[in-house]
Chain A
Amino acid sequence: MTTPLKNTDFNTTHFPTWCPGCGDFGIWTALKNALAALEMKPSNVLIVYGIGCSGNMSSFIKSYGFHGLHGRALPAAIGAKLANKNLKVIVVGGDGDGYGEGGNHFIHALRGNVDITYIVHDNQVYGLTKGQMAPTTELGQPTSSTPEGTVDQALNPVALAIAAGGSFVSQGFAGDVGQLTQLIVDAVKHPGFSHVNVLQPCVTFNHHNTFSWFFKRVYKVESVQHDFSNKYEAFARALEWGDKIPTGLLYREIRPTWVDRVHELDGEPLATRRIDTIDISKTLQSFT
């Protein structure tokens, strides 16, 4: 009999360097909880990280890890998943990383529906580079790169995800680890690209969207009998921001994944196929 996995089985010898009170701790805990609940051994999961405070989680979770480039975690993760479709692949990034620098990859990952899970730390500010405007910073909020207030309207990541064809779009809150754990479990189980936007405060650089600010506004969509299979309803809910902010599963549809649609990927994963028996002689012949 094997012992069930515990949250602590995913710890490393490094303890997080995040600021005390940072929302990242909640996300870190929820992710480890989810991995344990899913009974995924550290060697069976690949977590691909972006660059930022979120990506620094790479040192604090035990699993195969790939701490790539700022904004480029998604394409690296997609390449790995296509090469080994049996691997569980989770991507951890931040709002600036994934919605700013890597916005193009986000849109196309939603379209492609490769079966990976994308967890985004959305604290509405740049933390690691010290307090500049993020794509999700509220309009008019002063930041170190926009001292007179931002002039770009905030991006709504979950509305964008639904519009771009996401098959699993959800929103969690770093202050509700129980709900977030379950969302991550469901996201990983979803056959397709799953998006978990996680609202969190940045205790050092965002004095507007604080824990208490969020606590006053977030509500669970289950409590209002939200129909996550209805795209119009999901979109309307995704647009909510301000006095009421929805959390939970906003939208889900089951459709074929990228791997389902590409028959070259049937059978043995690319990475473990034999390549020493390839015979290109017929193709050479076609050039004669």
Chain B
Amino acid sequence: MKPTVNKFTWKIGGAAGNGIMVTGAMLAKYVTRAGLWSVDYSEYPSLIRGGHNVQVVQVDDEQIFSHDQGNEILVALNEDTVRKHVAEMSSQGAIIFDPDRLTINDAMLGGRKDIQLVPVPLVKLALQEGGKDLMQNTVALGATLALLDAPMDLMDEIFKDTFGEKGDAVVQLNQKICKAGYAHVREQHPAKFPWSIMPKPQEPRMVIDGNSAIALGFLQGGLTFYSAYPMTPASSILTTLAELAPKYNIVAKHAEDEIAAVNNAIGASFAGSRAACGTSGGGFSLMVEGLGLAAITETPLVIVNAQRPGPATGLPTWTEQGDLRFVMHASQGDFPRIVVAPGDPTQAFTESARALQLAEHYHLPVIILTDKYLAEGHWSTPLFDRGAVPMQRGGFVAPHEHQGKDWYGRYADTPSGVTPRPVPGQAGGVFLANSDEHDQYGFADETAVNRLMQVAKRNRKLESALPHLPPRTILWGEPGADVTLVTWGSTTISCREALRKLRTAGVTANILQILYILPFPTEEVTKAFASAKRTILVETNSSGQLGSVIAGYTGKRCDHQLLKFDGRPFWPEDIVSFVTSLH
């Protein structure tokens, strides 16, 4: 078989609690430092122990976005892993397993004769070198690198950078255990594996998940207060910010529930902080009344909704884009908001920083809509541009601008709809923020003329924000293609991978990604549809929510729709085969 360099998929499977997620992250870091591109994705049930957990790392010479279903190396920590994943294996692919714990027979392999079995005494080697059971993962990592003929010194450096803070002993233990796996494979299975890694020089890149990108975007955007109640798949925004809190002197507050979380953030923002809160759909449901409170009191607020399949508890650890229409209209009443749906970690970083700034300048709620796939998947990514959203404070009134006044007209009408705000404690700026409809000082006012003025003023802020938004749609690929994939959020990633594959299949395609759902880019989408030859709506929900939103704003309907709602993201093959079947 022809050798393949720098292109393979690695998969590890075991019971929850086996620590497999960390192993995949280390491998992703390795290949990224080796100048390659990786994407990883995990599947796990809502369990802490037991169940079947899988992590996949796909590696490529070129930038890749989402992985396909093939697999070259399978690390099987239990029998389930072999049985469930053997069918996906490439011919000549390898299964690394611990012969002391697992016996692989023909029946488990489903009759496959073209798979290499690589027995490595994972636990024994870990214990022999002075580690614990769980460090079998590190042995497996060493075995993987040996199979791929990859240099070990690069891994040594990663251990040093990752565990350096824990002391030399921890670094050396990891290095030793990893080497034991490496040496074992070198001796027992010398050089007959068709896939290999050949490092190449490159600019530094990160391996990062969507939630970390949001946390970093918030820090870059000047966030000082974050409140949340844990909920998969949003929890790691809270835990990441909590871990970084001492470094950046911020508060990441674990609130008693999501209602408290949203009201905490509103209070902090009212007092002058850049504040945000985050959750998944269930928690967002609880935050909905707070969303309206931020709107009527014109208090800046940023909320992250990392979607998972609902309704109710739904599929807690899987992915879906089922909340689009919900977040667009959530809360009683009719008020403006911004909804942004990042489609990769870089967009998540930039738009999170921007969300804080937009909320502060325009006194609006901004919702960042992601999903489990983006939130918890990891991608090799160029270093984020820290200057993408230059820091600029806005929307405040300086004390000297209202000196000598008894009450400040915080809700007085203005041409832009934005009335600069004082913060509590500021002399002479006294006003009432009122969840009742109110006059310019905040006093309840139920007159028709005031109501009309206040609604118009609030709505006008969205128009004022428009020139300060980035392009709200992104066209990936060449204009004039045979097929246009119309999509949003994390499904953009799957579409971008499909684009690469369609090119090879001889089909020209491009992608219309709608980055800002609100304010809806009606003009841009209308134009894009006018020049598209054939449009295919691609999203992970069962009713085609984006399609109906587009139809509502533009009157245009997509020619075809490809929907997926089994909790899994689109595999690029799903999209490629749908597109090619149309031709």
Chain A residues engaging chain B, CB cutoff 8 angstroms: 12, 14, 41-44, 46, 48, 51, 58-59, 62-69, 72, 74-84, 86-87, 104-105, 107-108, 262-265, 267, 270-273, 275-276, 278, 280-281, 283-288
The reply to whether A76 and B219 contact each other, CB–CB distance below 8 Å, is no
In the bound assembly, the distance between CA atoms of A82 and B270 in angstroms comes to 11
Provide the residues of chain A in CB contact with B430, threshold 8 Å: 42-43, 62-64
The reply to whether A283 and B219 contact each other, CB–CB distance below 8 Å, is yes
- Assess A66 versus B270: contact at CB under 8 Å? Given A275-B391, A283-B216, A287-B208: yes
B242 CB to closest chain A CB, in angstroms? 10
The reply to whether B443 and A84 contact each other, CB–CB distance below 8 Å, is no
CB of B53 within 8 Å of the partner chain: no
B271-289, CB < 8 A from A? 271-275, 289
Candidates B161, B264, B268, B429; contact of A270 at CB < 8 Å: B268
Identity of the chain B residue whose Cβ is nearest the Cβ of A77 in the assembled complex: B267
Identity of the chain B residue whose Cβ is nearest the Cβ of A268 in the assembled complex: B249
CB of B84 within 8 Å of the partner chain: no
Identity of the chain B residue whose Cβ is nearest the Cβ of A262 in the assembled complex: B251
Given contacts A79-B266, A80-B267, A86-B425, 18 further A-B contacts (CB under 8 A): A12-B443, A43-B427, A43-B429, A65-B434, A69-B289, A69-B293, A74-B260, A76-B264, A78-B260, A79-B227, A79-B265, A104-B257, A262-B251, A270-B251, A275-B222, A280-B386, A285-B204, A288-B383
- Assess A264 versus B383: contact at CB under 8 Å? Given A78-B264, A271-B224: no
Provide the residues of chain B in CB contact with A74, threshold 8 Å: 260, 263
CB of B435 within 8 Å of the partner chain: yes
A260 CB to closest chain B CB, in angstroms? 14
The reply to whether B443 and A68 contact each other, CB–CB distance below 8 Å, is no
Candidates A48, A83, A278, A288; contact of B275 at CB < 8 Å: A83
The reply to whether A288 and B391 contact each other, CB–CB distance below 8 Å, is no
Identity of the chain B residue whose Cβ is nearest the Cβ of A108 in the assembled complex: B256
B217 CB to closest chain A CB, in angstroms? 9
In the bound assembly, the distance between CA atoms of A120 and B251 in angstroms comes to 28
In the bound assembly, the distance between CA atoms of A285 and B263 in angstroms comes to 34
The reply to whether A105 and B425 contact each other, CB–CB distance below 8 Å, is no
15 contacts between A and B (CB under 8 A): A43-B428, A59-B432, A65-B431, A65-B433, A79-B263, A87-B424, A263-B246, A270-B251, A271-B268, A271-B271, A275-B274, A275-B391, A276-B391, A278-B248, A280-B219
Provide the residues of chain B in CB contact with A104, threshold 8 Å: 256-257, 259-260
In the bound assembly, the distance between CA atoms of A104 and B229 in angstroms comes to 14
- Assess A287 versus B207: contact at CB under 8 Å? Given A58-B432, A83-B272, A87-B424: yes
The reply to whether A80 and B259 contact each other, CB–CB distance below 8 Å, is no
In the bound assembly, the distance between CA atoms of A81 and B273 in angstroms comes to 11
Candidates B255, B266, B423, B434; contact of A271 at CB < 8 Å: B423
Candidates A12, A87, A107; contact of B425 at CB < 8 Å: A87
The reply to whether B224 and A83 contact each other, CB–CB distance below 8 Å, is yes
CB of B397 within 8 Å of the partner chain: no
The reply to whether A80 and B249 contact each other, CB–CB distance below 8 Å, is no
Identity of the chain A residue whose Cβ is nearest the Cβ of B383 in the assembled complex: A284
Identity of the chain A residue whose Cβ is nearest the Cβ of B250 in the assembled complex: A264
The reply to whether B270 and A105 contact each other, CB–CB distance below 8 Å, is no
Provide the residues of chain A in CB contact with B293, threshold 8 Å: 68-69, 72
The reply to whether B256 and A83 contact each other, CB–CB distance below 8 Å, is no
Provide the residues of chain B in CB contact with A51, threshold 8 Å: 435
B49 CB to closest chain A CB, in angstroms? 29
Identity of the chain A residue whose Cβ is nearest the Cβ of B426 in the assembled complex: A43
- Assess A288 versus B219: contact at CB under 8 Å? Given A65-B432, A270-B273, A271-B272: no
Candidates B208, B256, B265, B443; contact of A59 at CB < 8 Å: B443
B551 CB to closest chain A CB, in angstroms? 35
Identity of the chain B residue whose Cβ is nearest the Cβ of A271 in the assembled complex: B272
Provide the residues of chain A in CB contact with B227, threshold 8 Å: 79
Identity of the chain A residue whose Cβ is nearest the Cβ of B293 in the assembled complex: A69
B26-66, CB < 8 A from A? 29, 32-33
CB of B444 within 8 Å of the partner chain: yes
Provide the residues of chain A in CB contact with B222, threshold 8 Å: 275-276, 278
The reply to whether A84 and B425 contact each other, CB–CB distance below 8 Å, is yes
CB of B16 within 8 Å of the partner chain: no
Candidates B216, B273, B426, B427; contact of A280 at CB < 8 Å: B216
- Assess A48 versus B267: contact at CB under 8 Å? Given A59-B443, A270-B224: yes
The reply to whether A46 and B384 contact each other, CB–CB distance below 8 Å, is no
A80 CB to closest chain B CB, in angstroms? 4
Provide the residues of chain A in CB contact with B407, threshold 8 Å: 62
- Assess A272 versus B272: contact at CB under 8 Å? Given A278-B219, A280-B219, A283-B216: yes
A68 CB to closest chain B CB, in angstroms? 6
Provide the residues of chain A in CB contact with B256, threshold 8 Å: 104-105, 107-108
Provide the residues of chain B in CB contact with A67, threshold 8 Å: 432-436, 442
The reply to whether B263 and A72 contact each other, CB–CB distance below 8 Å, is yes
The reply to whether A76 and B216 contact each other, CB–CB distance below 8 Å, is no
In the bound assembly, the distance between CA atoms of A151 and B257 in angstroms comes to 28
Candidates A68, A84, A272; contact of B263 at CB < 8 Å: A68
The reply to whether B391 and A82 contact each other, CB–CB distance below 8 Å, is no
The reply to whether A288 and B216 contact each other, CB–CB distance below 8 Å, is no
- Assess A284 versus B271: contact at CB under 8 Å? Given A46-B424, A75-B259, A108-B256: no
B484 CB to closest chain A CB, in angstroms? 33
The reply to whether A270 and B250 contact each other, CB–CB distance below 8 Å, is yes
| Contact pattern, B 356-393, Cβ under 8 Å of A = 1, otherwise 0 | 00000000000000000000000000011010000101
Provide the residues of chain B in CB contact with A86, threshold 8 Å: 425
The reply to whether A80 and B424 contact each other, CB–CB distance below 8 Å, is yes
The reply to whether A82 and B251 contact each other, CB–CB distance below 8 Å, is yes
Provide the residues of chain B in CB contact with A76, threshold 8 Å: 263-264, 266-267, 270
Provide the residues of chain A in CB contact with B29, threshold 8 Å: 288
In the bound assembly, the distance between CA atoms of A143 and B551 in angstroms comes to 51
Provide the residues of chain B in CB contact with A14, threshold 8 Å: 443
The reply to whether B443 and A72 contact each other, CB–CB distance below 8 Å, is no
Identity of the chain B residue whose Cβ is nearest the Cβ of A44 in the assembled complex: B425
CB of B253 within 8 Å of the partner chain: yes
CB of B182 within 8 Å of the partner chain: no
The reply to whether A69 and B251 contact each other, CB–CB distance below 8 Å, is no
The reply to whether A65 and B442 contact each other, CB–CB distance below 8 Å, is yes
B187-217, CB < 8 A from A? 204-208, 212, 216
Identity of the chain B residue whose Cβ is nearest the Cβ of A17 in the assembled complex: B444
Provide the residues of chain A in CB contact with B250, threshold 8 Å: 264, 270
Provide the residues of chain B in CB contact with A263, threshold 8 Å: 246
Identity of the chain B residue whose Cβ is nearest the Cβ of A259 in the assembled complex: B251
Identity of the chain B residue whose Cβ is nearest the Cβ of A43 in the assembled complex: B427
The reply to whether B431 and A69 contact each other, CB–CB distance below 8 Å, is no
A49 CB to closest chain B CB, in angstroms? 9
B28 CB to closest chain A CB, in angstroms? 11
Identity of the chain B residue whose Cβ is nearest the Cβ of A64 in the assembled complex: B424
Identity of the chain A residue whose Cβ is nearest the Cβ of B248 in the assembled complex: A278
The reply to whether A43 and B386 contact each other, CB–CB distance below 8 Å, is no
Candidates A42, A264, A280, A286; contact of B245 at CB < 8 Å: A264
Provide the residues of chain A in CB contact with B297, threshold 8 Å: 66, 68
Provide the residues of chain A in CB contact with B426, threshold 8 Å: 43
In the bound assembly, the distance between CA atoms of A65 and B269 in angstroms comes to 14
